[in-house]
Structure 1
Amino acid sequence: MLTQQMLQQKKLLLCWAVIQFSLLLLLQQAFAGWVIAIFALLLLYRLLSVFQAKAPVSLKLVNLLAGIIAITFFLQLRQAGVLHFMLQILLLAATARLLALRHLYEARQLVWVHYFLIACCFILHQDMLIALLIFLVFAANLYSHYRLFSPSVHQVNWPQTGRSLLIILPLWLVMFLLFPRLPPFWQIPNANIASTGLSDTLDPGSIEQLVQDDSLAFRVEFDGALPPRQQLYWRARLYEDFDGRRWQVTTLRQNANRQRAANDAAASKDSSLSYRIIAEASQQTGLFALATPVTSSSNVFISPGGLLSSSKPVSQRLSYQVSGSLIPVMLVSEQEQLLNLRTAPGNPQTRQFAYQLKQQYPQNHALVQALAEHFRQQAFYYSLTPPPLGSNSIDAFLFDSRTGFCSHYASASAVILRHAGIAARVVGGYQGGNWHPQQGYLAVRQREAHAWVEYLDNGVWQPFDPTAAVAPERILNSLDSALPEDQRALLDPGWRQLALLQNVRQQLMHLDYYWSVWVLGFNENSQQQLWRNLYRHLPAIAYAVAALFSIIIVVLLYYRLTRSSTDNTPEATKQLYRYLGKVLASKPPSLSVSAFLLQYASHYPAHNVCLKQLIALYELALYKEDVVALKQLKQYLQCHKAELGRLRRAIKNT
């Protein structure tokens, strides 16, 4: 018996170590590299000690070690943030308990700490596949919890477990749909978190690096028809400060007060559109919108310049609704115009070229068209691997290399327009996307990152994309079609080119989209709409529920009547099974009811008198058909209901 108990303890220790390794992987983005290394070493040591049958670490040593590590975590609190610090402390508590665990009864707190850590994984992850992994870890911890309290020889009762699930799952679904949606009690820390997507700085090479990332940026579901691809310019950043080489988001715009809505009159009836975006976690506040957003959902702000932003960094998938117009953005103020007329020293050839264009084409629109024609007719090339540029980067690009990516063309065009006296700025965002008609959404990946220009004409920021003049395939089709074959390999490694893997990846993306819409996207607005629909159809629902209950009652009555008419079981036996049915369910066919209960009377002395009295009354009522004994049996069972309940629990826990 001792050997079997030791074997069970070893299995549970291995299970808990695997659970903690899984939690370390799931929570790794909340930990620095040295923190992950500490936990990994501690868990590896515990695994080796289990395999080698070594004694656990002494409690004093574990407490000393945990105290030193906790102090180290506390000293890094400012960098890690409060939430990540709490996750570190929780995992440290679980690991320390596992290191010092000697007896299984000491593991009760360990199992509950695991539950807290598993729940915390949903703070950092919302992907469907990661959610499945989290549920697997939860199932493993639940199984270890069961094994911790069940007898070593007892097997899982799968039929009973299935019946419990049939009861729990509908209750869970009702709670998910109808329970009030509470706001989160946490805030993801902002410090030292890696971000994805466009940054506040744009220089030659930044977009080229981003487009080699094939991960999702956001997905869009339109309420109406999909706009033409050449209108799918998703604005995310405005780069207005130029130092001669790189562009930056001006501090004036970074510190601008957010406002709740733009000018409703700006959206004409013919060009208005409405769409919902599911943005991936980027750890940034900037979001995405087409042209001029007019209204947005409550979790998103419309800032000056027609940009969308969140009140805090997007650390989880964010779903928001936007309605707006495809007409260009209006000028905000005279200060904005002056800001976008500033020029930087250097690039003398570009300055001279701009003066020449201004003399030939005094009208803003005509000058922009001439610039597009210049890019179209001259030997300019679109490339993912442009040559490096010198100090006068614009001159080197326009008059020497003539090879670049979208950021090169947008930067050069904005500088030319500013030198020509036209207010201009570079816009960073995404262009295009992959439309999935059956699923009804547009998937925009990081590789669709793009840069273009907006220039001021009659108080309106008109869009101008010089890339469309050099490589129109990029705008009308995709990035792949605009690049030579040798550069497409940079976008898709060899294994991604396999058709089977691409198909599997796409199907998983579709499933993940439905997960985002139906589960993650079920917010308080969706719930309020559900409540309104239920209230509207309340009479029909009440009639349906009443009809269903009536059918169930009729079926049960019919079953009871037919069973009673064909049931030849003696009344005394029925009474015993009514109170001791679960106990008598394990009775072997070879034993009588009296003999079976007599065995329990000898095994449980505390219930000996009660069981023997029951047996005596039962035999009188059954074999002698004594009506008085049957009545006394019913009364005795009713009076000793509590004691019989204690007997059932004692037998169950044995």
Structure 2
Amino acid sequence: MSSAILSRLTQLTVVKSVFSQPTSVAVLMLCIAFSLILFTLTAPLMTWVIMLGGCAVIVRAAGLSALNSLPTSRTVNLLAILAVFALSWFGFSVGLLDSMINLLTVACALKIMLVEKKRDFHLIVCTCLFLIGCGFISSLSVFAWIGYTGILALLLFATAIYHGAGIPKSKSIKFVTVLIVQAFPIALLLFLLLPQLPPLWQMPTSKSTETGLSDTVTPGDIASLASSSELAFSATFENAEAVPVAPSRYWRAMTLEHFDGKTWSISNKRKQAEQQLAYMGKPTPLSALAEENTPQVISYELIVEPTQQTWLFALAPSTPNNRENSIFVRSLFDFTLRANSPISSKKAFYLRYYPTAQITSGIGNFESQLNLQVSMNGNPQARAWGQTLAKQYSSAQQIVSAIMRAFNQGGFRYTLSPNAMPTDPIDRFLFEERSGFCAHYAGAMVYVLRAAGVPARMVTGYQGRKRT
């Protein structure tokens, strides 16, 4: 009993001693600010980087007390070497920009465990400011602005307390608060008077494009679609009999499952799930398929033109034809293939196609939740139509047939030059314009199906017709 009371008193004494030291309070506030930044950057950051940052914050916060010691420089340097190898290995799959954000986050996480001198503190504060700027690259919403403003204020408070070791903490906080209040009207005045130029880090929206593939689809912003005659890829089969019939020659590339009301894109949840399953060593359905005795296997060579991207165009389902090629190609859980590095020049991949394999084994809870998400940003008529279809019909097949009848009998037409639909693109396509190209029809159908409670997603690829 007495030992428990003594232990509790010791803990209270340690906590009191930590909060009585301005430098310790400043470092603790810095750890909190870094944790909040990690929370806002979950999309570009890899899972292991977020875990490393969280562990670094816990270690540094625990090291503020006399009962714990910080890791040695040798330990942190070893972690840095391992992190560099991990970033080099996984960086090709996430792109240059996200790789740089992950690198900056790892550097900040490792440095935060060794904050001892004033220079170290300043370095981490500056790094956090850069990470806040990286957050604005992916989001310019009002909520992001409010959140990052709060984190910035926390960094300023921490800096003031760190430098005001001989000044009461209340005075340091009051000083920073006065500076923020004084700066606010100046910032508001500059916002109203200065010309509203678009940010340099965002690409302007294109009003026209060529037929082809992208990792995002915003059909409402495309006013004209020019047909391109450029070669995307070519495939060579062992013999003429091995070439699939025309309806089966769909070359699958990407699965777009996220919709924000205007743009379809690859879901960040899907990316994170793929990374976690890969770390766990779980084999993908395509990898397991390659090890089974599938009755029919067709080998083919895929020659891809440079795209600066990692996606591959493959017949579904396909796998690398041997373990050597699996080093350069990885199978994903949505039955697509990815190169392990961006394709910057013409490159050949050797694959196997399983035309008789059964891959429709149902969907799990994760797949169902991901493909039932309905964006509430606009398009109220399409949502209402989907809900009406769900009440009228009892099966998913009946709902699909009803939508197809509407397309066939509702005066819809296919055109490469639709009118621009910048707001409520699905509503305008379904109930006003009734003309568009493949992305309009696919996006509208997926959205209405989801609103009707039917899991659906957009799959992009090429329908190969030309045979030589």
TM-score normalised by length of structure 1: 0.35
When Rg is computed on C-alpha atoms for both structures, the one with the higher figure is: 1
Bigger helix fraction: 1
RCO higher in structure (CA 8 A, sep ≥6): 2
